[in-house]
Structure 1
């Protein structure tokens, strides 16, 4: 059995959520003494906490919701690359990367150092990169960041351009201990019918 590498953020009261969004909390709705048999927990959280996928409905009222997404995009071969944190991630940063046959691309920037604190700024994905990646057949992009756009962006150009080109978005992955190379990605969203995104348990399997 090949080793699994967990690339998900831990969900506890220390996980950093978007400022002003619903913070994560876990509590027991019933404990064993109250129910007579079991502990029953409940969670409250934003869908965009920790490691998660964005559905197009997140930024487009007419976009697909989570239940409409193709699950096969979230399972399969993936390539991990390292692009040290800069102001942005563009074509020049990947032009020397062999993308032939790559349908899922995961990028480690190292820009989000303390996962218990929401970052003040992050490198954003330049919209032109989406066109470049689509030419190679990339269908999913994953980042070790809370967004593919600037944190204060209202236009969300990278979100829109990626979606226009059929590239799905995985955010908040943890790649600090992952070497560049090829893996199998498993990052399935929950079957949330009306949702604009979903938390995922993202893992890589060594090939």
Structure 2
């Protein structure tokens, strides 16, 4: 019998080969100090888009007057969640793809798995989520929606309809989750963003834990 993991790490690795949204800054690192006879430590400097890897979008990403990541309430990013599988149902995940896992005790956080295996390269055919599905989840009290793709909207969208509805309904977003090894079901989510006071997004180290009995 396979033991249940104590922690599922659902964060994408971040390195120089990490897929980046076209036009976004890739990961780059340089050393400003190296261990040597004259220096006791290694110190690096990194640059990257805050949307690289697993990340949280702040309202400032899609609302010119929205709060930055550092000003957003942390409560939506920690607590009970439900992982729902909608594998291969793209290009847009609709309510019919989620409905099998919707019950009266739905937690206020929903994570959607669309990939059988997370891609190692940029996926221009990524799956988004329909505005109807987002609206229905919001009506059920969902505060945060996560997805294992790079965007809630199709990669080529210029109107960002799903992001705009998220804005209107006051929801929070996690993107680029890695849910390959996670069965459908309920978990505790911990996915805290950095306190970046001027940024429109933040990398997160997202994990799932079994819910306490």
The normalised TM-score by structure 1 is: 0.94
CA distance in 2, matches of 1:35, 1:147: 46
Deviation at 1:27, TM superposition (A): 2.3
Matched, 1:52 2:28: no
User: Which residue is 1:132 aligned to?
Assistant: 136
Q: Name the structure 1 match of 2:113.
A: 108
Number of equivalences: 205
1:109-144 deviations in Å (ceiling 9; x for gaps):
0076422x1002112211111210011100000000
* Match status 1:25 vs 2:38: no
Q: Which moved more, 1:125-134 or 1:32-41?
A: 32-41
Choose 6-15 or 92-101, whichever is displaced more: 92-101
Measure how far apart 1:51 and its partner are: 0.3
Distance in structure 2 (CA, Å) of the matches to 1:85 and 1:177:
16
In structure 2, the gaps of 5 or more residues are none
**Structure 1 residue 161 and structure 2 residue 169: aligned?**
no
What is residue 41 of structure 1 aligned with on the other side? 44
Which whole-Å CA distance do the structure 1 matches of 2:37 and 2:27 have between them?
24
